[in-house]
Structure 1
Amino acid sequence: PEAQARDSTACLPRLRFGLVVLVSLLLASCTREASDPDPTSPDPGYESFAVTDFALTDQNGEPADATILDGRYTVLDFFFTNCPIYCPAMSQVMLHVQRETEGSGVRFLSISVDGEHDTPEVIAAYAEELGADPDRWRFLTGDPEHVRSIAEGQLYLGITYDPTRPVTLGDGSSMDFIDHPTRLVLIGPDRRVLGTYSYARKDEVDLLIERIRRLHTP
């Protein structure tokens, strides 16, 4: 009996330790769930951001307005086909997100900030060369000032057209410098902005991909 009592007493520290570990794991799980934001809710600071309306033309020459955002999640960016700096890399990141979220139902929208050059035919060729999925990814173009009003007036993202800083293109010609947004914008099915992500930061791109997957997890 004394041996049995000693064995029972020896087990108590291990039982207590096991209970402590179990409680710690449960608390950690609850903390993660409590701190894990709802992927369908706007990030802090974006509660009032929304796309209200626009009138542009897609790569097929068809008119497009803000109703194309209704009822679906959309990743939006701004680009132009002659962009020598950010756009090639940003478009590749958009392509990466498209591939990583196959089957999610999320759509992609790229709006040109250089409508004078980027005709529907030009952006169609750009989309095809890029490998964009035409069923999920639309490219839009239109009047540059109207595009700026979308970026600045609805998304609070700046666009600057600066003719005093000409940019030399690959064919030797030049164009005005265009400073445009380089963040990927996640928009909800009610046109509200849910968050923005830097294309140049892998951690933010990974967060966007994970958020999209969570949005469409059964």
Structure 2
Amino acid sequence: MRTNRILALLAFMLIILNGCSSATIKNGVEWPIEDFEYTDQNGEPFGLADLKGKVWVANFIFTNCETVCPPITANMARIQRMLEEEGLDKVELVSFSVDPEVDTPDILKAFASHFTEDLHNWHFLTGYVQKHIEQFAKENFKFQVYKPEDDDQVIHGTDLFLVNQDGIIVKYYSALDVPYEELLSDIQILLKQSD
């Protein structure tokens, strides 16, 4: 009789442990990001080293975009507010400019001010040449960026990316139709894995 109780207890504990360890990100990817250091909206250097040990969400925008970038940035601002409401405001947000020769730090800062007053965890990055960001996005994020000659509009995708504490992209989502609850759940999974 006692052996049955012990076996039942062990089986129960095994179920509980499996339940705890099965919290994984569904439909994830594993894309490491190469080291980088660019310039943020304050004119300060900011790079992968500043994000080490942190969960972050990245996207790609440019300030004179006539189509998708304003709604994408508004969605990032909503993510920022949701993170703060959930007590997750240590999660970082990173917006890479895909038009770096136009998007100076001052222009990025003015653009950001239309969407948020709080940039303590949101970094708008520039300080590289056009070809570099096109290659960086393609090689690291599997993301297309292209600025045609004689056109001020940059062609680019509309995804946002969840990056873990080791600088590895673990999932991507639509930046126009953000699955907010799924994103928050995935962020919480990453944060629990590091506890």
RMSD of aligned residue pairs (Cα, Å): 2.6
Pairwise CA distance, 1:98: 0.8
Q: Which residue of 2 aligns with 1:188?
A: 164
Q: Counterparts of 1:36 and 1:207 in 2: how far apart (Å)?
A: 16
Pairwise CA distance, 1:37: 4.4
Whether 1:209 and 2:191 are equivalent positions in the alignment is no
Listed as ranges, the matches of 1:43-62 within 5 Å are 43-44=27-28, 46-47=29-30, 49-62=31-44
Percent identical among aligned pairs is: 32
Whether 1:138 and 2:123 are equivalent positions in the alignment is yes
Q: Which residue of 2 aligns with 1:97?
A: 79
Q: Which residue of 2 aligns with 1:20?
A: none
The structure 2 residue matched to 1:112, chosen from 90, 97, 100, is 97
TM-score when scaled to structure 1? 0.71
Whether 1:86 and 2:72 are equivalent positions in the alignment is no
Q: Which residue of 2 aligns with 1:121?
A: 106
Paired residue total: 175
Q: Which residue of 2 aligns with 1:13?
A: none
TM-score when scaled to structure 2? 0.79
The structure 2 residue matched to 1:157, chosen from 143, 148, 153, is 143
Pairwise CA distance, 1:43: 4.2
Q: Which residue of 2 aligns with 1:178?
A: 154
Q: Which residue of 2 aligns with 1:76?
A: 58
Contact 1:57 1:63 in 2 (8 A): yes
Contact 1:59 1:140 in 2 (8 A): yes
Structure number with bigger Rg: 1
